[in-house]
Chains A and B, each alone.
Chain A
Amino acid sequence: MTDKQEKTILSTRDVRLWYGQKEALHGIDLDFPNKGITALIGPSGSGKTTYLRALNRMHDLEDGVTVTGSFNFNGTDIYAPTTDTVDLRKQIGMVFQQPNPFPFSIYENVIFGLRLDGVKDKAILDEAVERSLKQASVWDEVKDDLHKSALGLSGGQQQRVSIARVLAMSPDLLLLDEPTSALDPISSRNIEETLLKLREDYAMIIVTHSMSQASRISDRTAFFLSGDLIEVDQTKHIFLNPQKQETQDYVSGRFG
């Protein structure tokens, strides 16, 4: 924490995770500021996605996964038995690798979460749709087709609608699991520009396979290797002046 970052939104200590008997994360300590983008990089199987999914308890859906460690999110313990995962996931939104709008209209997709909360007021819903789609920089492209199926959009548009769907919930933290790896370069760039705009208002954690993407959009970068956190620092330090040999080797493309 060398920078002027004011507040920590999420702080994890000694995070360990087992798939059955196999330990996949070996004690991760990481803090995230309440603004800006943190990139998690590392080769396949390094545990970065596993770690990300632990942050909003997506592992609850799988059998045989054990998570230990402390997760302090705005003062609440994510894994406390009393924590309501439904509320938690409203505050910690997640965008997946595959663009995954539901087979409904764009409008219904964006307000899906609000509908779950029982919001019925048309004015509020309309406002949320416009605001979220604008934040996700896809408003201009879809504003005339709001009631058409979201599955008719291009992959990049679908992914931005998926982002808008999460933003409509006004989450405090946004988790992005390789959001551009299934997209073509132009769509990827659109998503990156969207994320750069959101950086002012949201805390985001992005898992990415692309080191150039991490260097373009993230403020801080954490390097994972084989279930260990090797190094975390400001992005420019990680890429230009890493402290660890493994990081140096990875970012210079010597393996991975």
Chain B
Amino acid sequence: MDNITKKLMQRSESTRKDTIGRAISMTALILIAIVVVSIFVFVLSRGLSTFYKDGVNVKYFLFGTTWNPSVTDPATKKPYIGALPMILGSFLVTFLSAIVATPFAIGTALFMTEIAQKRGAKIMQPIVELLVGIPSVVYGFIGLTVVVPVIRTIAGGSGFGILSGTIVLFVMILPTITSMTVDTLKSVPRHYRESALAIGATRWQMIYKVVLRAATPGILTAIVFGMARAFGEALAVQMVIGNAALMPHSLTTPASTLTSVLTMGIGNTVMGSLQNDVLWTLAMILLIMSLVFNLIVRAIGRRGAMK
């Protein structure tokens, strides 16, 4: 009896292993949390210093239409740092590419899951996965050598601009949206399909009225993920958009995005100067936007789960 009590009071070997395992995974978690938090703190402190250290008006920054940090505005004695052209540019390429990509992505996903499952799995799946894996510089290079000249021929001008950026981003986010939509469609229970057909739905009615409806939250999530990718993409966009920080008046004139201005400028400014700080502010906007995209995805997921 005493022996058993003694044994029970001691920590067993398995409990000890359990504790070690938990400690390891907790450490990993804490490490990642620290990294994320420090990124936020760093970007925020840098980005906000534009406003409190350099005394720039937030409204002026967000809605000003002239971007030229190295030149001082004689009227306000401040550099031209209106970020609206880039903010608009970023949102335009993001939304346009998502609008163009979504129908193609849903069509492809429906083909892969509902119409030709075997061919879908054999041919389309690897193609989509391959598209995800292509480095963005390759997309950008193809955009530069193929898309831009085509636009130049058709629309005139230089060929650089929002339209070229949209086309390149469309190809880049297509696989993201497609593969996530495929996963969503696959997770629609088989019995929805069977019972729709058993009531006398045609295959199209089944897809349109039941499968797509049941999959709507997932598809929206896929689109938002695609948009997040488009919003954050720097290199490929930078190669085709023209990088002129001007208000976008046309889809085929050079424009710029937050990311393209960031990558172009960050190496050419001195740390701590206003010219450098405003770039951090752009990075802060990017970070906040990706947070917003994340929250949207979560909100959609929660609303979808409630149904």
Which A residues are closer than 8 A to B by beta carbons?
56, 58, 61, 63, 86-90, 93-94, 96, 98, 100, 102-104, 112-113, 115-117, 149, 151, 162, 165-166, 169
Q: Does B191 contact A (CB under 8 A)?
A: yes
A89 B198 Cβ-Cβ under 8 A:
yes
B residues less than 8 Å from A115 (CB atoms): 209
Q: Does B38 contact A (CB under 8 A)?
A: no
Contact of A112 among B118, B191, B194, B199 (CB under 8 A): B199
Contact of B199 among A58, A61, A103, A169 (CB under 8 A): A169
A96 B194 Cβ-Cβ under 8 A:
yes
A100 B201 Cβ-Cβ under 8 A:
no
B residues less than 8 Å from A112 (CB atoms): 196, 199, 201, 209
Q: Per-position contact with A for B175-202: 1 when CB-CB < 8 Å, else 0?
A: 0000000000000010111111111111
In the bound assembly, the distance between CA atoms of A164 and B195 in angstroms comes to 13
Q: Does B205 contact A (CB under 8 A)?
A: yes
Contact of A86 among B189, B194, B202, B209 (CB under 8 A): B202
A100 B200 Cβ-Cβ under 8 A:
no
Distance from B39 Cβ to chain A, minimum over Cβ atoms (Å):
39
In the bound assembly, the distance between CA atoms of A90 and B197 in angstroms comes to 9
Distance from A208 Cβ to chain B, minimum over Cβ atoms (Å):
18
B residues less than 8 Å from A100 (CB atoms): 189, 191-192, 194-195
CB-CB nearest in chain B for A92: B198
A residues less than 8 Å from B200 (CB atoms): 86-90, 113, 116-117, 169
A61 B197 Cβ-Cβ under 8 A:
yes
Distance from A47 Cβ to chain B, minimum over Cβ atoms (Å):
19
In the bound assembly, the distance between CA atoms of A74 and B213 in angstroms comes to 35
Q: Per-position contact with A for B97-110: 1 when CB-CB < 8 Å, else 0?
A: 00000000000000
A residues less than 8 Å from B202 (CB atoms): 86, 116
Contact of B197 among A89, A104, A165 (CB under 8 A): A89
B205 A102 Cβ-Cβ under 8 A:
no
A residues less than 8 Å from B307 (CB atoms): 103, 149, 151
In the bound assembly, the distance between CA atoms of A165 and B196 in angstroms comes to 10
CB-CB nearest in chain A for B307: A103
In the bound assembly, the distance between CA atoms of A162 and B196 in angstroms comes to 11
A58 B198 Cβ-Cβ under 8 A:
yes
B209 A58 Cβ-Cβ under 8 A:
no
A93 B198 Cβ-Cβ under 8 A:
yes
A residues less than 8 Å from B193 (CB atoms): 61
A residues less than 8 Å from B214 (CB atoms): 102-103
Q: Given A103-B213, A103-B214, A151-B307, is A56 in contact with B191 using a C-beta cutoff of 8 Å?
A: no
CB-CB nearest in chain A for B188: A103
A58 B194 Cβ-Cβ under 8 A:
yes
Q: Does B171 contact A (CB under 8 A)?
A: no
A113 B213 Cβ-Cβ under 8 A:
no
A94 B198 Cβ-Cβ under 8 A:
yes
B198 A56 Cβ-Cβ under 8 A:
yes
Q: A86-B202, A96-B198, A116-B205 are in contact. List 11 more A-B contacts (CB 8 A).
A: A58-B194, A86-B200, A89-B197, A89-B199, A94-B195, A96-B191, A100-B192, A102-B210, A116-B200, A165-B199, A166-B198
Distance from A139 Cβ to chain B, minimum over Cβ atoms (Å):
20
Q: List 17 A-B contacts (CB under 8 A).
A: A58-B197, A58-B198, A61-B197, A63-B118, A86-B201, A93-B198, A96-B191, A100-B189, A100-B192, A103-B307, A116-B199, A116-B205, A151-B307, A162-B195, A166-B198, A166-B199, A169-B200
In the bound assembly, the distance between CA atoms of A162 and B195 in angstroms comes to 9
Contact of A96 among B118, B195, B201 (CB under 8 A): B195
B residues less than 8 Å from A103 (CB atoms): 213-214, 307
B residues less than 8 Å from A113 (CB atoms): 199-201
Distance from A203 Cβ to chain B, minimum over Cβ atoms (Å):
16
CB-CB nearest in chain B for A89: B200
Distance from A147 Cβ to chain B, minimum over Cβ atoms (Å):
14
CB-CB nearest in chain B for A94: B198
